[in-house]
């Protein structure tokens, strides 16, 4: 492997030698000083590229708030410094660009991996012959699968209902492909892999239709299949897994009844899979698994986001790999993590191999391994803030569901009406674990908490164009077309007392057809809680914040005491802004900091949906928060209302 020899500034040199354990050093005060350092330091070069993108976002989104981008403060923190027995050291660097005028901050996350040339890890193919050959990667996958089978009894898939069809992949000596009906197979002893991939915007060649289904039971032409399918078949064959499930091949694509039947069994399909193979960075079915940029990339965008180089030392040289993981710790920069259907595929699988551009990631119930030698706890969120099915779900079912929906709601769906079907498997799994009842993407037992969702993503006109939104209950996140977060307000407070104030009086939901795979026909939620009417007007200076700040009841902010002097922040569910008006507000949750008495009160923002008495009904239109040292809601002002 021929790598560029590079240098590191004093601070980055301390990082790669494992001498920096926290944010004690402040090497680069702003973009300007980071830019100067990047002229000689290869790590700073990667840090600069991502933070330049962040500063450009500030320039675009906060154009009305003049601030010199070059002098924006940068906070740099090093954490998760870990070492392996093979001599590998790795750490996470988080840089946070701060826009002082607005209060916005923008994080960027980087992984730094360091291996001494005379350490055992240097003999691993990832370090000795980067990029690894396909043959070496297959050997690594075999090693992981064997180790998991031998040492992890909890990772063995349980015998569940099989999908209707599987692809029989043949053997290396007889590589004949065909569809098989699982009714003819012994379900107790069947091993099959599942494929997780992006469909993309174009038609998938070779997919199963009513026209070719019969012939596919005889033979599937290998050459007619897209690259991702061919790679997945070869990987399965190399791992001695005799069958593969691919949605485009195992579901008849122009048969709606067949689609409905398989969608409702999706939890069983992935839960019973021996291994899920995930094409994490392929944009469609033609991308394949093995395409990967070389260590020195001619593509400027990729080259700036990662670097692989050698640092010379008097004792022994160091191999250094630095890669940007984007602006979120949940790996959303992976293309696969932007697609709606793939969430349940990864969350429900007992074992998953993710093929990323830089390396392989193995995740099972008991371990998290990477091709470079990094190892993490099985619940790690280093590459994907997606809790997997298992013990964590049993212990914290509400938090697990919230994390799933926070990830899912920000993902894209080609067909908007798939929003419930695409998590049908997750819903069925959650229900089997908890015994709870599904309530339009929320849950009956925790409904008084689940309605704490808030829109966190900016709206565009296309987001509101879907007629499907009109059928979803206003109190469910399904009515919001973009990403949401749960229990957003007050989470930064330390040592707090939390009290919930909503009582669920009645709940009704009916479907137009089969539950979970048809539209919601009607719904009603009756709640009781402390109520007040509040005049809300968006604060001009707080408009760019997320969520924006509001003036309440004629409040006049005092900027001499605080840069963000407002006592109310709020977000409308399906509108960026509304004209100043008086709204009915219902208290959901109060947090009180024990040591100071400082508190936040999170409330629903409502408007009348009907004006016919005595059957007055309301519609949820947003979520807001009051903050300060006194309560804004009184126990003496309870209301019982119906939400549609």
Q: What does the pLDDT average to over 406-417?
A: 90
Q: What does the pLDDT average to over 568-573?
A: 96
C-alpha angle 480-484-486 in degrees, rounded to nearest 5: 125
Distance CA 403, CA 381 (A): 11
Among 435, 464, 492, residue at a domain's last position: 435
pLDDT at position 332 = 46
Residue 585 banded pLDDT, cuts 50, 70, 90? very high
Distance CA 252, CA 262 (A): 10
Helix (H, G, I), strand (E, B) or coil at 470: helix
Q: Are residues 367 and 484 in the same domain?
A: no
Q: Are residues 536 and 456 in the same domain?
A: yes
Cα–Cα distances (Å) from 283 to 21, 46, 194, 198, 610, in that order, read 37, 24, 18, 6, 45
Q: Are residues 505 and 567 in the same domain?
A: yes
Per-residue pLDDT tens for 493-511?
A: 778 999 999 999 999 999 9
Q: Which of 433, 435, 424, 408 is nearest to 270 (CA)?
A: 424
Least confident of 3-12, 160-169, 246-255, 341-350: 3-12
Distance CA 365, CA 342 (A): 18
Residue 357 banded pLDDT, cuts 50, 70, 90? confident
For the chain, percent of residues with pLDDT exceeding 90: 51
On whether the CB atoms of residues 547 and 570 are closer than 8 A, the answer is yes
Least confident of 77-81, 153-157, 273-277, 344-348: 77-81
Q: Are residues 215 and 153 in the same domain?
A: yes
pLDDT at position 383 = 42
Q: What does the pLDDT average to over 178-185?
A: 92
Least confident of 1-15, 284-298, 332-346: 284-298
Cα–Cα distances (Å) from 161 to 394, 461, 478, in that order, read 22, 42, 29
Least confident of 126-135, 245-254, 347-356: 126-135
Per-residue pLDDT tens for 96-138?
A: 887 666 556 778 888 899 999 999 998 888 888 777 788 889 9
Among 396, 419, 435, residue at a domain's last position: 435
Q: What does the pLDDT average to over 311-334?
A: 72
Q: Are residues 68 and 142 in the same domain?
A: no
Q: Are residues 406 and 478 in the same domain?
A: no
Q: Are residues 409 and 459 in the same domain?
A: no
Q: Are residues 240 and 147 in the same domain?
A: yes
Q: Which of 587, 122, 140, 482 is nearest to 310 (CA)?
A: 122
Higher pLDDT, 1 or 640: 640
If you ran DSSP here, which 8-state letter would residue 73 be given?
A: B
Residue 27 domain boundaries: 4-131+293-324
Examine the pLDDT at 466 and tell me if it is beyond 90: no
Q: Are residues 314 and 400 in the same domain?
A: no
Q: Which of 276, 278, 280 is nearest to 358 (CA)?
A: 280
Q: Are residues 315 and 188 in the same domain?
A: no
Distance CA 587, CA 634 (A): 9
On whether the CB atoms of residues 414 and 199 are closer than 8 A, the answer is yes
Count of alpha carbons within 13 angstroms of residue 143, beta-carbon side: 13
Distance CA 546, CA 150 (A): 49
Average pLDDT, the chain: 86
Q: What does the pLDDT average to over 281-287?
A: 91
On whether the CB atoms of residues 213 and 164 are closer than 8 A, the answer is no
Q: Are residues 449 and 338 in the same domain?
A: no
Bridge partners, residue 321, by sequence: 113, 308
Among 382, 417, 435, residue at a domain's last position: 435
Residue 79 banded pLDDT, cuts 50, 70, 90? confident
Question: How many structural domains comprise the chain?
Answer: 3
Higher pLDDT, 314 or 328: 314
Q: Are residues 275 and 300 in the same domain?
A: no
Distance CA 125, CA 116 (A): 14
């Amino acid at each position: 492997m021929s790598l560029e020899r590079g240098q590191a500034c004093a601070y980055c040199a301390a990082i790669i030698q494992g001498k920096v354990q926290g944010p004690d050093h402040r090497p680069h005060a702003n973009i300007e000083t980071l830019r100067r350092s990047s002229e000689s330091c290869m790590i700073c070069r990667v840090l600069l590229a991502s933070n330049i993108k962040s500063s450009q976002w500030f320039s675009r989104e906060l154009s009305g708030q003049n601030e010199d981008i070059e002098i924006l403060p940068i906070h740099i923190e090093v954490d998760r410094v870990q070492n392996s027995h093979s001599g590998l050291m790795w750490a996470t660097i988080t840089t946070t660009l701060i826009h002082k005028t607005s209060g916005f901050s923008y994080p960027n996350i980087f992984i730094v991996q360091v291996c001494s040339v005379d350490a055992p890890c240097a003999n691993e193919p990832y370090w000795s012959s980067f990029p690894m050959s396909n043959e070496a990667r297959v050997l690594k996958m075999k090693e992981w699968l064997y180790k998991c089978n031998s040492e992890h009894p909890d990772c063995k898939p349980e015998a569940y209902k099989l999908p209707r069809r599987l692809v029989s992949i043949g053997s290396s000596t007889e590589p004949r492909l065909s569809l098989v009906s699982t009714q003819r197979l012994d379900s107790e002893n069947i091993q099959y892999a599942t494929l997780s991939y992006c469909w993309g915007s174009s038609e998938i060649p070779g997919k199963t239709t009513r026209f070719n289904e019969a012939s596919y039971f005889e033979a599937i032409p290998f050459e007619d299949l897209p690259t991702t399918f061919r790679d997945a078949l070869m990987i399965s064959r190399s791992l001695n897994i005799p069958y593969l499930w691919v949605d485009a091949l195992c579901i008849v694509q122009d048969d709606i009844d067949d689609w409905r039947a398989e969608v409702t069994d999706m939890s069983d399909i992935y839960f019973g899979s021996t291994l899920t193979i995930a094409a994490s960075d392929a944009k469609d079915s033609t991308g394949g698994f093995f395409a990967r940029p070389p260590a020195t990339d001619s593509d400027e965008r990729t080259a700036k986001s990662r670097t692989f180089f050698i640092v010379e030392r008097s004792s022994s040289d160091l191999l250094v790999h630095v890669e940007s993981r984007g602006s979120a710790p949940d790996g959303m920069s992976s293309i696969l993590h932007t697609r709606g259907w793939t969430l349940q595929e990864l969350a429900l699988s007992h074992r998953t191999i993710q093929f990323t551009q830089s390396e392989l990631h193995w995740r099972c119930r008991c371990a998290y391994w990477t091709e470079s030698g990094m190892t993490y706890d099985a619940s790690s969120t280093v590459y994907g803030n997606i809790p997997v099915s298992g013990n964590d779900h049993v212990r914290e079912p509400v938090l697990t569901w919230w994390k799933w929906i926070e990830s899912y709601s920000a993902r894209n769906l080609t067909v908007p009406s798939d929003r419930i079907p695409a998590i049908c498997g997750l819903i069925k799994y959650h229900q089997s674990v908890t015994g709870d009842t599904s309530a339009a993407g929320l849950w009956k037992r925790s409904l008084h908490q689940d309605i704490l969702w808030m829109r966190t993503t900016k709206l565009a006109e296309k987001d509101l164009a879907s007629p499907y939104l009109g059928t979803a209950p206003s109190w469910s996140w399904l009515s919001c077309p973009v990403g949401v977060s749960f229990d957003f307000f007050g989470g930064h407070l330390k040592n707090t007392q939390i009290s919930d104030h909503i009582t669920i009086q009645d709940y009704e939901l009916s479907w137009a057809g089969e539950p979970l795979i048809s539209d919601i026909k009607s719904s009603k939620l009756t709640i009781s809680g402390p109520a007040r009417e509040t005049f809300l007007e968006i604060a001009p200076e707080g408009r760019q914040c997320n969520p924006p700040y509001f003036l309440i009841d004629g409040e006049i902010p005092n900027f001499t005491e605080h840069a963000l002097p407002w006592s109310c922040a709020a977000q409308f569910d399906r509108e960026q802004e509304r004209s100043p008006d008086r709204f009915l507000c219902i208290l959901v949750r109060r947090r009180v900091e024990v040591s100071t008495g400082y508190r936040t009160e999170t409330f629903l923002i409502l408007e009348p949906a009907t004006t016919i008495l005595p059957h007055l009904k309301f519609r949820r239109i947003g979520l807001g928060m009051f903050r300060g040292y006194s309560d804004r809601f009184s126990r003496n002002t309870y209301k019982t209302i119906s939400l549609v």
